[in-house]
Amino acid sequence: MNRLRGLIQAHRTLAAVAGLVVLSLVVVGAAVFQPWRLFTSSSLDEALPAAPVSASASPEVEAAVVETPAPSGPVVVSSGTFESQEHETTGAAQLLKLPDGSHLLRIENLASSDGPDVKVWLSSLEAGGDWFKYRSGRYVDLGAIKATHGNHNYVIPAGTDVAGLTSVVLWCDRFSVAFGSAPLA
């Protein structure tokens, strides 16, 4: 101990520079890895979008026109259950078609980990398995995950071809890892 103290006193400038380098590495490492996110979580419980209310026609018009009514609420196009990949992840995903023809991704009963830059992706690749594969397939980035727990809605951009998008992936963009994925069957 006395020898280390003597070495530091003899080389004060070098010790100060080394101390600053170590401190800088700790700060940069904390900024990149954000280790506190291992201990944080958030919850959100969004309701499904409400179906539009249609005006009722007169009985004479209703009797004269026989049509199959359009669905008044969302229709499930495909769905699946999340499986864990790099982080423990549970819940279910549903690809919904809304009465106006638009699509929505609904995630229900989600429970996952927090992380830096976690996104929700629709992917053309099969759910599960090696998570490094997802960048090589077709995917649609629906934005940052809204919360680590709960029920969330993600609007699918107008004009998106949902054909061939076979899975939902919780993707950490910073480290290129899948937290979990769900097949859409």
Write the pLDDT tens digit of every residue in 110-169.
999 998 899 999 999 999 998 789 989 999 999 999 999 999 999 999 999 999 999 999
Q: What is the dihedral of CA 168, 173, 177, 183, to 10 degrees?
A: 0
Q: Please give the structure tokens belonging to residue 22.
A: 């170590």
pLDDT band for 56, please (50, 70, 90 cuts). Answer: very low
User: Who wins on pLDDT, 174 or 111?
Assistant: 111
Share of the chain above pLDDT 90, in %: 56
For the chain, which residues make up each domain, given as ranges? Answer: 2-33, 71-183
Q: Name which of 43-57, 91-105, 135-149, 161-175 the model is least confident about.
A: 43-57
Mean pLDDT of the chain: 84
Are 105 and 93 spatial neighbours (Cβ–Cβ below 8 Å)? yes
> For the chain, percent helix, then strand, then coil, each to nearest 5?
25, 35, 40
Write the pLDDT tens digit of every residue in 74-91.
999 999 999 999 999 999
Q: What is the dihedral of CA 58, 62, 68, 73, to 10 degrees?
A: 20
User: Who wins on pLDDT, 4 or 119?
Assistant: 119
